[in-house]
Structures are given as C-alpha cells and as structure tokens.
Structure 1
Amino acid sequence: MTHTINSTIYGELLLHYQPRIIKTEAENEQFLEMVEELLARPNLSPEEDALLELLIKLIEDFEEKNYQINASTPHSRLLHLMDAQNLQPSDLVGLLGSSDAVTKIINGEAEITEEQAQVLGKFFHVAPELFLRN
C-alpha cells in the first residue's frame, strides 16, 4: 500500500530536522539521535516514515564511506534497531515465527530471510533491504 505524502507536512519536517549530507562524526551522532527519536514514536505518519528513510540513508552513506572496516551487517542493524527501541528478542517472536528462529538470528547463526526482512522493515519503519546481505 502506497501512502500519499502531504508536501506541506513533509516540508515542515524537513525544515525542522534539516537533513543534509553528513560530513562529520558529530553530525552523524546528531542524525542517529533524530532516527532514535522517530523510532520511539508509536505510529509514524507517511511523512515521518519518508523522513526516517532519508535520515537512515544519509547515515548509511556516511558510515559506509567512513567505517569500511566495521561495515554494518543485517545482523548488526537489527541489533541496533532493537537497542534503540529497548526491545528484547522475545518481542520479535510474533514477527519472526518462533523463539528458535529469533535466537538463531540474534546470535548470528541464521540469515534473515526475504520474508522476515519484509516483516522487520514494516515493523521498524525502514527499508527491508537493511536486513538482507548485498
């Protein structure tokens, strides 16, 4: 389902958050805080969801360019999002099917499937591709 974005509301969000290419570690930290603030909200509007995607893309671009040695993985992204929302593995059981599946994913013993990535993307309001290996 595609949501229509209200350009006035989205423009106000852009004015408030002022997303831009991240050039310094301090800016990256600031953008990470913005993402965590948005993730803490119970129900994001389509405009907030679009802003969240944009902020995550800007952070990913900065970190990919500056942290090649410790490049993030689908596993580390999941753990980061769980930490940002204070979620426990048990909170994902209903999404991923079983506690065994969640345990294997959390422990890095199993890859996240495309179907699981879709569910996680919807749950965390991020692109499902974040949970899949390139």
Structure 2
Amino acid sequence: MTNKTGNKTLGTPKTYLELITAFPPRKITSEEELTITQNIIDSLLDQENLTPDERDYLHLLGLVVAEYEEHHYPVADIYGIELLKVLLEELNLQSKDLMPIFEQETVLSEVLSGKEQMTVNHIEKLAKFFHVSPAVFFKDV
C-alpha cells in the first residue's frame, strides 16, 4: 500500500503476522529500502496507541535500520573537548553557558582551544551539567 506521497505504509494491519506479511522485515541493502523501512516506522510512530504486536514489529524494524546505519554511517568515537563542543552545539548552548563550571573565561577559552586540559573538577561538573557519565570525557574508558 502507498500513501499520497508515494511512500509505502502499512494501512491497518494490527497483528504481528499481518504486519510481517504486509512488509516483511529483511536486511536493508540500499538507500531506497532504508527510506521505505523508515516510512513504515514513521507511520507506526504517528499512531497514538500501538498494540503490543505493533510495538514488537516496530522494534524489529528499528533493529534492521540500526544494523544498516551502523554499517553505512559509522559514528566516530568522540570524547573530551570534541564531545564537549558537540554537546554545546547539539543543545544550542554557547561557551559562556559553561562559565559556572570553568569560573574564569581564560580557563574556558584555553580548554576549548585544546591548550589546557580539563581538570577532574571540570569533568565532574560537566558530567552533572550534561547528565552524562564522567567517563565520556576520557579516551579509552
């Protein structure tokens, strides 16, 4: 079944067997298959209440997509200052938002430029501020 934009959707199947029959999950081998699978996922997520069968099917499709993306779009491991910069960008924060942690503008500037290392105190405060483990700021932890 296709919707008005030409994307595959599932329509109204509700049981696990109906869902699998309507769109059998299989290993994704192309961007086109990825897009179709993501459209199915989106159509399920747009529903207000999912049945247990729909949740199980959604989980399965998510695993198939994750496997494809892991292989085709690997995410580089980042840590320390690079992670800090990504967190700032992703959360739409500015470096000045970190002043309560670093206390001095020169220290903050030196850390962000890589000229100075973060202290254990900085890392503990950053972990609390961003709600992450302090380990994410260390390489090979």
TM-score by length of 1: 0.49
Q: Answer 1 or 2: higher relative contact order, Cα 8 Å, separation at least 6.
A: 1
**Which protein is richer in helix relative to its size?**
1
TM-score by length of 2: 0.47
